[in-house]
Amino acid sequence: MMGSLILFEIVVMMTLYDVTALDVKSTLTYPSDNIKGKSAVLNCAWTTSGSEEAGVVNIKKNDTNYFTCTVYRTNSYSCVKSVPTSPDRFTTVNGVGNISMTIGNLECLDEATYSCQVILFTPTGQFQQADTVLRIKIPPSSPALTIDQTEVIENSNINVSCTATLGYPNVGQIVWKTYQNGILFTPSPSDIIISSTNVVQPGDDICTVRNRSIALLKTSRNNPNISLACFVINQDFSPSSDDSCTNPTAQWCNLTATVNIVYPVSNIQSTIVPSTALYEGDDISLRCSVEANPLPTFTWTKVDDNRTLTSEMDGLVSVLRLTNLNLSTDAGDYNCTASNVVKGVTYTTSRAITLIINKATTPAPTTTTTRRTTTSTVTSPPTGNDSTGASTGDTDSSNTNNIIIGVVVGVGGALIIAIIIIIIVCYRRKKNIPKSIVNEPAEKTFNNNTTYNINLTNASMKSPQPDLVAGEKKMNSSSLNSSFDLKNDGLGYADLTYDNRPRSRKPMAITDNGSIYSSEIQMPEV
């Protein structure tokens, strides 16, 4: 441990008396690194003038005379301890016009006001005094850690105590840092509680401010392998702390060992790989995983016959491999059991997996395929190829062609039947139309009935006489047709029988009534 570093502040105070020719000075110097246990030097110097002479020099500490030195008319000053109990660490060194007092192995109690008092050799004993204040600064000490835990159950607390001196006169403080697997992390404020108090130990002096800080850190399985470090910071020596404690003496820090976070087995999961449907002959793996620390042990059993099976373990995962699945022996329930021991207590958890195996689909036998091929190729000339694979391919092709032909024939037959039905329906509808509403040509008698009844109210029942018109060949004069409108033209008429088909204009026969007139038929022009 580094010794305490000591610095001094110098405050010089001059007290002047009714002596103007005497000048006294006091200073402190430090020949070493201001570290506790080293030394400091108090220098006393004076000057006189005229008839004045210095007689005695007193060196005081807080107005207590430590040394009395006779300096009158001599160059060999003689200094005598005024306090026999004063430490031997105080010594004097003489010079011409000055005296030095060395303080060795500096301690906190050496902090005081030191004075150089010069008394003139006169009957009245006039004197002059110069004061110097020694202020000590003490750096912090490296902290001491106390922790009894090497492993804790999750959700419980890690309890760490850190004790150190905080420096003087400016008092520092203790700060904490936490690490997971050696990496700095900041816990949630609700997970860490820090308290501190000042403590006093035997041998402490007035310059010692000792503090004890206690950290309570709540643990979690999400933050395993925890360690804590405490640092002492002081604005005069180390105003901030480093991220890691690598040199406890120089950094005024200390680091705990890693604390193991333990917890029982939990969150067991099981899966089948692959996760597709299983068939006889397949190879699969049953996987079982848990969360646990320390590592668990796994046991696989076949529930149906209470058979223990051998598995592979990889940390927190156990794998049971099943090859060439058999429906009768491998199907059923499998149980995965995991257990671990935490603080002397055994914890166990388990999970079941149901294995469903489907019967494998068997292809048609080769002999059957060959037989089918032989049957389908009886009427064909030999091809010279007797391989089973070739026969199977021909049979499959023939079956495919037969299916296509059947589909085409079926669809075509259905279309033909539909067309025939449509034709029959249309024909029957036309046949059922009454003849009375058939529009006949104007020159055709109604139903070949020559009777003309002009009094008929139904116009469709009338059968008017042909409308005679003048023909260019026979009647060149229109006067010959003057009696047409009166129907007394004196002409003889022959009844015509027409084709019974609707709207037909074809005459079938001529009935001659013995008229002398020609029976030549001239169809009216339409």
Does the pLDDT of residue 507 top 80, yes or no?
Answer: no
Q: In what order do the strands lie in the sheet with 345-355?
A: 307-309, 297-302, 332-342, 345-355
pLDDT tens digits, 437-479? 455 555 555 555 544 444 445 555 544 555 444 444 444 554 5
Sign of the Cα pseudo-torsion (149, 155, 161, 166, in order): positive
| Stretch among 118-122, 123-127, 164-168, 332-336 having the lowest mean pLDDT | 123-127
Q: Which of 51-65, 128-142, 186-200, 383-397 has the lowest mean pLDDT?
A: 383-397
Q: Tokens 């006091």 belong to which residue?
A: 26
Please state the rounded mean pLDDT for residues 377-383. Answer: 35
pLDDT of residue 497: 58
* pLDDT of amino acid 272: 95
Overall average pLDDT of the 43-63 stretch: 87
Q: Strand 151-153 vs strand 260-273: parallel, antiparallel, or unpaired? A: parallel
Select, from the ranges 119-123, 150-154, 393-397, the one with the highest average predicted confidence (pLDDT). 150-154
CATH of domain 264-358: 2.60.40.10
pLDDT digits over 206-247, tens only?
A: 889 999 999 999 999 999 999 999 999 998 888 888 999 999
Domain 144-258 classification at class level: mainly beta
489: its two tokens = 């033209």
DSSP string, 270-311: EEEES-S-EETT--EEEEEEEEEESPPEEEEEETTTTEEE--
Residue 402 has pLDDT above 70, yes or no: no
pLDDT at 366 exceeding the cut of 70:
no
Prior bond to 169 cis, omega within 30?
yes
Which range, of 119-133, 334-348, 427-441, 484-498, averages the lowest pLDDT?
A: 484-498
- Cβ atoms < 10 Å from Cβ of 48: 17
Q: What is the pLDDT of residue 34?
A: 62
Is residue 482 left, alpha or beta, with left meaning phi > 0 and alpha meaning psi from -120 to 50? alpha
What is the predicted pLDDT for the residue at 500? 63
Q: Is the CATH number 2.60.40.10 carried by domain 12-133?
A: yes
Name which of 1-5, 85-89, 184-188, 459-463 the model is least confident about: 1-5
Query: Is residue 269's pLDDT more than 90?
Result: yes
pLDDT at residue 74 in the model: 79
- Residue pair 252/227 in contact (Cβ under 8 Å)? The answer is no
The pLDDT of residue 39 is 84
Q: Which amino acid is at 141?
A: S
Measure the CA–CA gap between 210 and 200, rounded to whole angstroms: 6
Amino acid at 152: V
3-class SS of residue 508: strand
Rounded-to-integer distance, Cα 380 and Cα 411, Å: 29
Q: Are 200 and 165 in contact (CB under 8 A)?
A: no
Residue 185 has pLDDT above 70, yes or no: yes
**In 3D, which of 21, 212, 214, 31 has the Cα closest to residue 106?**
31
| pLDDT in the model for residue 5 | 38
Nearest CA among 111, 160, 141, 248 for reference residue 201 = 141
Q: What is the DSSP letter of 366?
A: H
Q: Which residue's structure tokens are 């060196």?
A: 59
- C-alpha to C-alpha distances, 414 to 407, 417, 419, 422, 517, nearest whole angstrom: 11, 5, 9, 12, 63
pLDDT of residue 48: 83
The pLDDT score that the predictor gives to residue 321 is 96
With bands split at pLDDT 50, 70 and 90, how would you rate the model's confidence at 37? confident
Residues 6+ apart with CB under 8 A from 469: 524, 525
Mean pLDDT of the 147-175 span: 94
Whether 378 has a pLDDT exceeding 70, the answer reads no
Between 23-27, 60-64, 149-153, the lowest mean confidence (pLDDT) is in 23-27
pLDDT at 362: 62
Mean pLDDT of the chain: 77
The residue ranges of every structural domain in the chain are 12-133, 144-258, 264-358, 439-526
pLDDT at 203: 86
CB neighbour class for 70 (10 Å; exposed up to 12, middle 13-18, buried from 19): middle
Q: Which bin fits 448, alpha (ψ -120 to 50), beta or left (φ > 0)?
A: left
Please state, in angstroms and rounded to a whole number, the distance separating the CA atoms of residues 39 and 6.
9
Q: What is the pLDDT of residue 506?
A: 59
Per-residue pLDDT at 55: 87
Q: CA torsion 167→168→170→173, rounded to 10°?
A: 20
Which run of H or of E encompasses 204? none
Asked whether the domain spanning 264-358 has the same topology as the one spanning 144-258, the reply is yes
pLDDT digits (tens, 9 = 90+) for 289-319: 999 999 999 999 999 889 999 999 999 999 9
String of b and e for 272-311 (b: at least 16 CB within 10 Å)?
beeeeebebebebebbbbbbbbeebebbbbbeeeeeeeeb
Contact 469, 442 (CB under 8 A): no
Q: Quick one: pLDDT at residue 515? A: 46
pLDDT tens by residue, 101-142: 988 888 888 889 999 999 988 877 788 899 998 888 888 999
- The size of the chain, in residues, is 526
Q: Which of 243, 257, 259, 237 is nearest to 164 (CA)?
A: 237
- Integer Cα distance of 172 and 237 in angstroms: 9
